[in-house]
Structure 1
């Protein structure tokens, strides 16, 4: 049974600024109040024609009406601009998600798809002895063991074999890890799953990355793992 606990391969930052050749902005054909300013003037004229000569309307009232009119118009135009900004942000998020397709990434999580092998990343704040337990989709324990972890990140690779040497089938498996330091105090161990982004759902908001049948958002990505290279 080949179970490997090792430091992860070198990584590159997941923060990448994509370049775009064309920006599409959302626009609407909503008619603003100012586009029908003549109607407003007609209302004011009618109001003047029908005012009481003995009690004429206060000019301050007209001024207030003009100010209110301008304020409403500005609010409507601001709403249209916000719609355009939101559309641009969604487009940028979708473009950013596309750059991850085909790359190996690490994301927050504990459930990994096993097919020949499965890799989890374990992160401990300080050196600890970790008790690792792997369960299948029905909650049955298929593997458990104790491993020494150093402070920082380490990769745990499972070959699909249980403690009895039985080879488990492909499927979703969950890893949990609890740790204790040399004095017996509990040490928190964070788990991440590692896999290749095979597709992106751009119809979702925000865009969803598919990794081994599981969906994740771009803000869940912690690292992008650069493939190791060998020299002959």
Structure 2
């Protein structure tokens, strides 16, 4: 569980760029005011300078300065939100979560999924594949409406025993009228850590990665 240097470098570069822009606009604005006051002091009373141009430039400087301040504020808000998200993700470590997902780990001759059918299905084809995409197990059964557990004992369709590892499941179901029934797959497991290498924290359940947005429920042992 670590934060990649790329993320820190990007944030540092963004902060440095914002500071540089602020200093640049401030320096240019000071030079502009110095030039303006010098011209006003030395202008010909019979042929005064046109103040409209100066007014427009003042407005432009003020607009740019305001935009830079707004960008700095937004950057601070983004950093604060990211820190809150990381803190929340770390609080999941050690908890048992149920999340959307098709991948589960086979350990000790047992891999489990939750199949959530939109309505009862008279015929559901359940296919289990290994990490290479090869079909290792397939069966057809009826499904009741709602959530139900599906446990695979690691036995392949040829009768051999599949090695421990990660496997994915897919379900194609139909009702008695032949209409397709939607079946969502969910996994349950204990959160071992948090992966911070991407743009958003990702929970790790064994070797399975679970996005925070996919978490359905959280449970801690008493």
The TM-score, its normalising length taken from structure 1, stands at 0.76
CA distance in 2, matches of 1:55, 1:147: 95
Are 2:127 and 2:169, in contact at CA under 8 Å, matched by a contact in 1?
A: yes
Question: For residue 8 of structure 1, what is the aligned residue in structure 2?
Answer: none
DSSP-derived class of the 1:106 partner? strand
DSSP-derived class of the 1:72 partner? helix
Question: For residue 57 of structure 1, what is the aligned residue in structure 2?
Answer: 49
Distance 1:155 1:94, change over 3 A: same
Q: CA deviation at 1:190?
A: 1.7
Query: Residues 155-197 of structure 1, C-alpha deviation per residue, up to 9 Å, x if partnerless?
Result: 2121212345432110121211111112222212122222221
CA distance in 2, matches of 1:173, 1:83: 41
1:199 partnered with 2:193: yes
Question: For residue 176 of structure 1, what is the aligned residue in structure 2?
Answer: 170
Q: CA deviation at 1:61?
A: 2.4
Distance 1:139 1:67, change over 3 A: closer
Would you tell me which structure has more helix in proportion to its own residues? 2
Distance 1:225 1:148, change over 3 A: farther
1:104 partnered with 2:96: yes
1:222 partnered with 2:216: yes
Question: For residue 148 of structure 2, what is the aligned residue in structure 1?
Answer: 154
Q: Which structure 2 residue ranges, 5 or more long, are not aligned?
A: 1-13
Query: Residues 67-109 of structure 1, C-alpha deviation per residue, up to 9 Å, x if partnerless?
Result: 2221111111111101100100110110111121122222222
- CA RMSD in angstroms, aligned pairs only: 2.6
Larger RCO of the pair (alpha carbons < 8 Å, separation 6+): 1
